[in-house]
Copies of this chain bind each other. A is one copy, B any other.
């Protein structure tokens, strides 16, 4: 019976646990022996690898984070450690790896594959949704719903005063979370790294709206802009509204995975295992236009992720375009 392992690399995201659960169950149904690597590439190097069983994955489908831990690994960038990692896997007879992580993690895996011919299939997992080549990354739907609840709460308090609230959400280089959150929460303003904005024209618009009766503002900004405080001051000085900043931070990573998250996790794991079983050696399972397809690391890394034009168009008025 062939052996297959799974690991999580980089930032954790909700959806990893359901993917791990499906990994174990589907492996057994395919007559594969499933293994966990604990703590990402660090665990590969330190040989923290153990066989997994049904009982390891009961009661995890509704938990955020990852039962098998994640980590960033500097050592895995050095050949000598990758050699150790490869030896550990080969000693155990593990020939296939499923890797949950981002493009950086996949890049490391590709090098590892070229050196040691250990097959892998990557599953895109990051709440930022910023991996090129796939429209969905594990963790995004849950993160969006966590932001929604927080924004609904803040609107309660915003609408009780004449106030502006500036909410900073994750997405260092990518405004996806901010844009979708703004579109779906009835926010008045959305600032993302992808789209330049003009505070002067916003000022004119907002002052007019205030004149017409607007009594509070909710602005959602991507953390990449590092300007939540600046925007808050701008509301105070230019619009004349008392203003508050809320940085949502790590609550966005956790939370009981949504149904969509769990279903995507289920499918990502299924396709990843199918790929490895069928002999695909180094690919990433992507989701585009309602279907799953495999891409090479080169395709993934060919360019930076870009938010779909459709979404940018929907957000035009929020984005000050």
Contact = CB atoms under 8 A, between A and B. Distances in A.
A180 interface: yes
A307 B78 CA distance: 48
A22 to B, nearest CB: 9
Count the copies: 4
A220 B18 CA distance: 19
Interface residues of A, number: 73
Interface in A79-137: 135
Interface of A: 8, 12, 14, 16, 18, 21, 29, 58-59, 61-66, 69-71, 135, 141, 144-150, 152-162, 165, 180-181, 183-186, 244-256, 258-260, 262-263, 266-267, 270, 288-291, 310, 314, 317
Contacts of A16: 160
A190 B165 CA distance: 28
11 contacts: A12-B161, A69-B160, A145-B259, A146-B153, A155-B254, A156-B253, A180-B259, A183-B266, A258-B258, A267-B310, A289-B289
Contact of A184 (B161, B244, B262, B314): B262
Contacts of A65: 155-160
Contacts of A159: 59, 65
Nearest to A244: B250
Contact of A266 (B153, B162, B184): B184
